[in-house]
């Protein structure tokens, strides 16, 4: 069975500092990995995905994530945080051998960027 | 282009009443998903439609929940005899047919059962 763990419920970072939101996954084969962001009272917005190829994936709003197969991790990063990055972040995984099946999401990490 | 739309945006209902939630996916997307987001919880998968195949209902929490998708487009999630624990945000998503594609989410319907 597929699963995702986001070990931190809350991450606080000062504006201008680098940020990292952690995600580890468990899937039998090679995973497809996704990051989504949810702003207050909004649906989820896609940030980036890893399907294959370069382990460093760049996405929207200056975010990037690094796929690490040996550590089964897909941490979300940004070099310089903005107050507007404050939101709820979800990591998700899909086993591609199952086809276009629902994503399995982590419980989310709330990011707070302090001015 | 138009994204995924959901209606109503908010719904308050009395315990025991039935409710219907609507989702309009992005045109041409063959896959449609319903998720539930409860306070303090992550996203819980409910049901999944892929083209003309039988839906995957494995995430539905009870037989009070059902969903249909008409003409491969619009979907309705129905909750019968609502309970207070059904209070949550119900999110709909759609995607193209290939598994490498991300899902596109609607804004959600916030359901409150009093």
- Which residues of chain B make contact with A94, given a CB cutoff of 8 A? 99
Residue A23 CA: distances (Å) to CA of A8, A14, A75, A107, B84: 9, 21, 5, 10, 32
Note down pLDDT in tens along chain B; length 114 residues. 589 999 999 999 999 999 999 999 999 899 999 999 987 678 899 999 988 888 999 999 999 999 999 887 999 999 999 999 999 999 999 998 777 788 999 999 999 999
- Which residues of chain A make contact with B33, given a CB cutoff of 8 A? 102
**Which residue out of A100, A101, A103, A105 would a mutagenesis test of the B interface target, given it has the greatest number of B Cβ atoms within 10 Å?**
A100
Q: The tokens 């001015």 sit on which residue?
A: A115
Give dist(CA B61, CA A106) in Å, integer.
19
Question: What pLDDT, in 10s, does the model give residues A63-106?
Answer: 999 999 999 999 999 999 999 999 999 999 987 777 778 899 99
Nearest to B97 among A34, A51, A100 (CB): A100
Nearest to A103 among B41, B103, B108 (CB): B103
Q: Nearest Cα to B95, choosing from A42, A100, A11, A27?
A: A100
CB contact under 8 A, B42 and A42: no
Give dist(CA A80, CA A74) in Å, integer.
19
Burial of B57 (0-12, 13-18, 19+ CB in 10 A): middle
CB A10 within 8 A of CB A109: yes
Q: Nearest Cα to B88, choosing from B65, B55, B57?
A: B65
Relative to beta strand B10-13, strand B109-113 is: parallel
**From the CB of residue A89, how many other CB atoms can be counted at a distance below 10 Å?**
24
Sign of CA dihedral A93, A96, A97, A103: positive
């Amino acid at each position: 069975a597929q699963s995702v763990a986001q070990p931190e419920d809350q991450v606080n970072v000062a504006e201008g500092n680098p940020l990292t939101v952690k995600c580890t996954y468990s899937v039998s084969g090679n995973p497809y990995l996704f990051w989504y962001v949810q702003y207050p009272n909004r649906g989820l917005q896609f940030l980036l995905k890893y399907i294959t190829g370069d382990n460093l994936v760049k996405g929207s709003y200056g975010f990037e994530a690094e796929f690490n197969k040996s550590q089964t991790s897909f941490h979300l990063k940004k070099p310089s945080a903005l107050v507007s990055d404050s939101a709820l972040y979800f990591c998700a995984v899909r086993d591609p051998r199952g086809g276009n099946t629902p994503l399995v999401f982590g419980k989310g990490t709330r990011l707070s960027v302090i001015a | 282009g138009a994204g995924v739309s959901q209606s109503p945006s908010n719904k308050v209902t009395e315990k025991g009443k039935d409710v219907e939630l609507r989702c309009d996916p992005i045109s041409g997307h063959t896959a449609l998903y319903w998720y539930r987001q409860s306070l303090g919880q992550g996203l819980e998968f409910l049901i999944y439609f892929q083209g003309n195949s039988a839906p995957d209902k494995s995430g539905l929490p009870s037989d009070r929940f059902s969903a249909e998708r008409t003409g491969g487009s619009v979907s309705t999630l129905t909750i019968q005899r609502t309970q207070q624990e059904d209070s949550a945000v119900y999110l709909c998503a759609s995607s193209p047919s290939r598994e490498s594609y991300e899902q596109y989410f609607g804004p959600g319907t916030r359901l409150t059962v009093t």
